[in-house]
Amino acid sequence: MQDALPPKLVCKGLNVSVRQELSRLWPRPLGANRRMITIRGVHKDFSIDGAKVTALSPTDLDVRRGEFVSIIGPSGCGKSTLLRILAGLETASGGSIDVDDGDRARQRVGFVFQEPVLLPWLSALENVRFPLDTARVARTEADSRALDLLKLVGLTGFEAALPRALSGGMRQRVSIARALSYDPSLLLMDEPFGALDLITRDRLNDELLSIWSQTKKTILFVTHSVEEAAYLSDRVVVMSPRPGRIKTVYDVNLPRPRGERTKLDPAFHQLMADLRRDLQ
């Protein structure tokens, strides 16, 4: 009877079992396209003097591992609220959030505020090391990691400088290095470059992209700039005015790595125009 089996079918069967074996060994091969954040019906109401204010209408959003997603929308539409809920700084009034963070339960998420939020009595190095010190990481290890990160954000030579001796852009880079110091797989950034001039902003955008490609982090990035959103992202989420909800999600298919050529790409300008129109 065995001879009767068509060889083709045997071959196909073998293939299937090999694939199963592979997916047993690496349940999610390469981690690509795997969903990391699942947001379902998350909303937030604040009560101000007894009056209910809806900061965020029920929102659904999925973010894949390693994805760079920008959120853009008019002021007060709930972008910060969404990010703060994700970071655990605010509790949602309802809905569910699932962050699949591998085996590392209770992982600390990376968060970069609009302001650098550095501790003014600590040097740049000590500020970057702060999350490691408070988690009782050994000093030598913490030091070497902090030094690497300061190098990554281009601040070698400023290790001993106090925040007040650094420029706004340098402070923001220290704050990014601090958020990376504990190696979070998820990095939430709330208008991190909003207070900076355009030239510094452009440079930090390029630095951020190179950090992102080196560290393979998932990044959620809130911005008011359509150019920044289009330049950086894999996807751009546009939110509508209050009460905030997600209006449109754009896939950005501009080739990577992005650079000066991206800014000349007609598709880039088309996307910016679309985003701008959508925001009105």
Partner 1 sequence: MTIASILIALRSLAIAVAIWWIVVLVANVPAYLLPAPDAIASRFVFLAQTAELTKHIRVTLGEIGAGFILGGFLGVAFGWLFVRVPLLGRLLSPLILVLQTAPKIAIAPLLLLWLGLDMGPKITLIAIVTFFPVMAGAAAGFAAVERPYQDLGTLLHLNAWQRFRRIELPFSLPPIFAGLRIASTQAVTAAVIGELMGATYGLGYLLSLGQENGDASVVIVAILVLSTIGWGFHELIRAGERHILSWHASQIGLEARV
- Interface with ligand ATP (CB under 6 A): 46, 48, 53, 55, 73, 75-81, 242
Instruction: Give the burial string for 56-83 (b: 16+ CB within 10 Å, else e).
Output: bbbbebebbbbbbbbbbbeeebbbbbbb
Residue number with CB closer to partner 1 (8 or 106): 106
Instruction: Answer with the entry of ligand ATP, partner 1, Mg ion, none that 181 interacts with (C-beta below 5 to 8 A by kind).
Output: none
Residue 12 C-beta: closest distance to partner 1, Å:
51
Backbone dihedral region for residue 77 (phi beyond 0: left; psi -120 to 50: alpha; all else: beta): alpha
Kindly state whether residue 97 participates in binding partner 1, applying the rule CB under 8 A. Answer: no
**Angle formed by the axes of helices 124-134 and 168-181, nearest 10°:** 20
Which residues from 64-93 bind Mg ion, rule CB under 5 A?
Answer: 80
111 binding partner (options Mg ion, partner 1, ligand ATP, none; Cβ < 5 to 8 Å by kind): partner 1
Check residue 137 for interaction with partner 1 (CB under 8 A).
no
131 lines the binding site for partner 1 (CB under 8 A):
yes
- For the bound state, the minimum distance from the C-beta of residue 103 to ligand ATP, rounded and expressed in Å, comes to 32
Q: Does 109 bind partner 1 (CB under 8 A)?
A: yes
Q: Residue 257, preceding bond cis, omega within 30 degrees?
A: yes
Give CA angle at 78 (74, 80), nearest 5°: 100
User: Among residues 81 and 205, whose Cβ is nearest to ligand ATP?
Assistant: 81
Q: Classify residue 39 by burial, with Cβ atoms within 10 Å: 0-12, 13-18, 19+.
A: buried
User: Binder to partner 1 among 45, 62, 115, 183 (CB under 8 A)?
Assistant: 115
Amino acid present at 40: R
Site string for partner 1, 148-187 (x = CB under 8 A): --------------x-x-----------------x-----
| Pairwise CA distance, residues 125 & 169, whole Å | 16
- 3-state DSSP call for residue 166? coil
Task: Please tell me the count of residues contacting partner 1 according to CB under 8 A.
Answer: 21
Q: Which of the ranges 112-120, 205-213, 226-234, 241-249 carries the binding residues for partner 1, by CB under 8 A?
A: 112-120
Residue 41 phi, psi dihedral angles, 5° rounding: 60, 25
| Residue 167 dihedral angles phi and psi, to the nearest 5° | -75, 170
Of ligand ATP, partner 1, Mg ion, none, which one sits near residue 268, judging by CB under 5 to 8 A according to partner kind? none
Torsion-angle region of residue 244: left (phi > 0), alpha (psi -120 to 50) or beta? beta
Q: Which residues bind partner 1 (CB under 8 A)?
A: 84, 87-89, 106, 108-109, 111, 113, 115, 117, 119-121, 130-131, 134-135, 162, 164, 182
Q: Which residues bind Mg ion (CB under 5 A)?
A: 80
